[in-house]
Amino acid sequence: MKHLLSMADLSREEILEILDTAVSMHEVQHRDVKKLPTLRGRTIINFFFEDSTRTRSSFEIAGKWLSADTINLTGKGTSVSKGESLRDTVKTIDAMGVDMMIVRHMASGAPAQIAQWTKCSIVNAGDGMHEHPSQALLDAYTMRQRLGDLEGKHIALVGDLTHSRVFRSNVLCLTTLGAKVTLVAPATLMPAGMGAWAQADGIELSHDLDAVLPTVDAVMMLRVQRERMSGGFFPTAREYAVTYGLTKDRLRLLPDHAVICHPGPMNRGLEISGDAADAAQSLVLDQVSAGVAVRMSILYHLLAGETSGAQSGEGSAA
């Protein structure tokens, strides 16, 4: 595996291998010295054309904890802002001999195009409204840590599906792992063509959140991406919260064992209430913690793989 561009590129076995490796990587976060020598001598560029807190910082931490040299770039800090093409910019960086570029871009398909222009490994850190594979892997890891094997588990993805790259990667990841997936959204935020996709992959569609919640093992609330909306997708924020928000009252509909996820950043009071975000069954901060471990695992599998044992690396760092 050289690139991570889409969850569709990974088999069930490859997903499980990344998640299993992340378990040992997660232990590093509890050490006094958070450092493994696994990627010593490797150079990783975090190239973000869109703002990010969780993804960018966790990839940077992951690289540094694996002893890679990590450099952060933004579109504003490169010659792209002077009119240079994306192709020339990434080929210039690639010519410097870097080992990996982690790319977030506002255009769907940009990381896949960059992978055709460069020799280094490319990781898709979110491209437009297309995909966000590392987020889906960390979401699956977090739920798996609490619920066990996700085979047969019922997971609902709720909210702004039309503008969400997280939902697309999560559907691919969760169905590959054998989970039962239900998508819940108002008709205006249900992507066109979902009926055919749902039928092919056994996904259920619903507009009734109250009917779905009592049956789930996990519910993932998706951010309402108002910055991507150019029209009226719902009448008012209050009406959306009442109809599709995970409110304090709706918490009572969840089974006792069910968990709550949100990929962040959260619009408290819109898609999720403060009571739900801070509830005992909320895994929101667990997802953030898992993000570093899973991204360490991704970097390891792309840059070290089978030739450089993770276990031996951990032992020499202890």
With a CB cutoff of 8 Å and minimum separation 6, the contacts of 211 are none
- Written as one letter, the residue type at 12 is R
Residues in binding site for L-aspartate: 82, 165, 223
CB 130 within 8 A of CB 109: yes
- List the structure tokens of 218: 């996990």
Beta-bridged to residue 70, according to DSSP, are 44
Between the alpha carbon of residue 304 and those of residues 41, 204, 282, 301, the distances in Å are 11, 39, 34, 6
Binding positions for carbamoyl phosphate: 54-55, 104, 132, 135, 264-265
Residue type, 63: G
What are the beta bridge partners of residue 73?
47
- Residues making up the annotated binding site are 54-55, 82, 104, 132, 135, 165, 223, 264-265
Phi, psi of 56 (to 5 degrees): -65, -50
DSSP assignment string, 97-137: T-SEEEEEESSTTHHHHHHHH-SSEEEEEEETTTB-HHHHH
Contact between residue 163 and residue 126 where contact means Cβ atoms under 8 Å apart:
no
- How far is residue 43's CA from residue 21's CA, in Å, rounded to a whole number? 21
